[in-house]
Amino acid sequence: MERPAWAPRSIDISVPSVARIYDYYLGGSHNFEVDREAARKAMEFMPGLPKIMQANRAFMRRAVRFALDEGITQFVDIGSGIPTFGNVHEVAQSADSGARVLYVDHDPVAVAHSQAVLAGNDDTDVLAADLRKPREILESPRLRRLIDLNRPVALLLVAILHFVEDADDPYGAVAELRDALAPGSLLVLTHASYEGIPLPPERSEGAVDVYKDIRNPLIMRSREEITRFFEGYEMVEPGVVPPPLWRPQTAPEDEDPYAFSGFAGVGRTA
């Protein structure tokens, strides 16, 4: 297999990557045949997967604009993936040229691309780190250079927590990040769930099994379990809802039924 110039030498391009599969669903070009194959296999069970990803991204953009309206100009996006069109820094910096964005991902491809895309933009940076080790993120010089933790921050955990198994204590990681944030900070979160998927559960499970097969298990949680991530936050209206129902700018009834899969929400620290 030919290794394209953008693929870091250190990565095994014969193994699918969650970040590159997501990139494929969003219509990006930074993915390999092995990623496309896994994506197509998952779509045999759940053809609306790209719609789910697009609804996640649309929610993220609305939440970033909401944060800016609240006067927040610092963003930490953990599990940021491969930067595609309409990413956090583009949305934030087009509204406020001084907005600062730190992307965090543990996928080497996502990190390498982010470095290429962000070259020359001093108000952004990318950190190779893992959500499961919040201390490493919080104590990183890259974070300290860009982000003032004494001022409100928007922390984005979009479509990432469903890749963290209960054994790795996702609730503990989210609480540790929360405790480092100044009052008035926001948690912006989306999470996969069987609730809202317009298919019988056994069909959805087929797609979930594809992720298990590539050793990136997808952990489907209930609305109640997802709401628990917001402990210690005050929910912003309308609470934890399917992505198209969070402060929509277009009529939700025009959305694809798949867009209502999973949940999204924003919480504010007191």
The structural domains of the chain, with segments of one domain joined by +, span: 48-269
Provide mean pLDDT across the span 248-263. 94
CATH hierarchy code of domain 48-269: 3.40.50.150
Look at residue 182 in the predicted model and tell me its pLDDT: 98
pLDDT at 30 over 90: no
Lookup: tokens for 200:
């019988």
Q: Which of 165, 156, 166, 160 is nearest to 66 (CA)?
A: 156
pLDDT at 76 over 90: yes
* Range of lowest pLDDT (15-29, 58-72, 166-180): 15-29
% of the chain surpassing 70 pLDDT: 100
Q: Which of 211, 149, 151, 196 is nearest to 177 (CA)?
A: 149
Provide mean pLDDT across the span 81-86. 84
Condensed to tens digits (0 to 9), the pLDDT of residues 107-159 reads 888 898 899 889 999 999 999 999 999 999 999 999 999 999 999 999 999 99
**Average pLDDT value for the chain:** 94
Look at residue 201 in the predicted model and tell me its pLDDT: 87
Provide mean pLDDT across the span 36-40. 97
Q: Which of 246, 71, 67 is nearest to 154 (CA)?
A: 67
Name the residue with higher pLDDT: 107 or 75: 75
Look at residue 11 in the predicted model and tell me its pLDDT: 76
Look at residue 132 in the predicted model and tell me its pLDDT: 97
Band of pLDDT at residue 1, cut at 50, 70 and 90: low
Residues 6+ apart with CB under 8 A from 102: 75, 76, 77, 124, 125, 126, 127, 142, 143, 146, 147
* Range of lowest pLDDT (41-45, 74-78, 211-215, 227-231): 211-215
State the pairing for strand pair 186-191/154-158.
parallel
- Distance, first Cα to last Cα, the chain: 52
Band of pLDDT at residue 5, cut at 50, 70 and 90: confident
Condensed to tens digits (0 to 9), the pLDDT of residues 231-246 reads 999 999 999 999 999 9
Look at residue 2 in the predicted model and tell me its pLDDT: 72
